[in-house]
Amino acid sequence: MKILDIVNTFKGNFKLKGKDKFETTENYSILFIFMGAILFSLGTGLTIFSPQGIPAIFALLGSLIAFVFTVIWIFSLLVKEFYGD
């Protein structure tokens, strides 16, 4: 019962849609940065068992996702600063 209360508490507060397209882009890029970091950590942790194969792919893919969406986030902030209202 307590887990359901926690899930219901955060369900209403988790919104990716911002008040404009710049904030929405920022929210999605931050989400994907966290997902990339989690995937990278998972891949790095799994390399304890096997340093090749799926764990290495997870680590490389996670770092790529985090890097690409960090660049998108920075670009979004710059565009918002110069062209946003």
Kindly indicate the confidence band of residue 8, based on its pLDDT and cuts at 50, 70 and 90: low
Position 59: which residue type? Answer: A
Q: What is the pTM of this model?
A: 0.76
Residue 81 pLDDT: 87
Helices (H), 12-53: 21-46
**The pair of three-digit structure tokens given for residue 60, joined into one six-digit string:** 């490389």
The pLDDT score that the predictor gives to residue 26 is 87
Domain boundaries, the chain: 17-83
Torsion from C-alpha of 16, 18, 23, 25, nearest 10 degrees:
40
pLDDT of residue 20: 80
pLDDT of residue 24: 85
**What pLDDT, in 10s, does the model give residues 21-74?**
888 888 889 889 999 999 999 999 998 888 888 888 989 999 999 999 999 999
- Answer whether 16's CB lies under 8 Å from 27's CB: yes
The whole-angstrom separation of Cα 61 and Cα 70 is 14
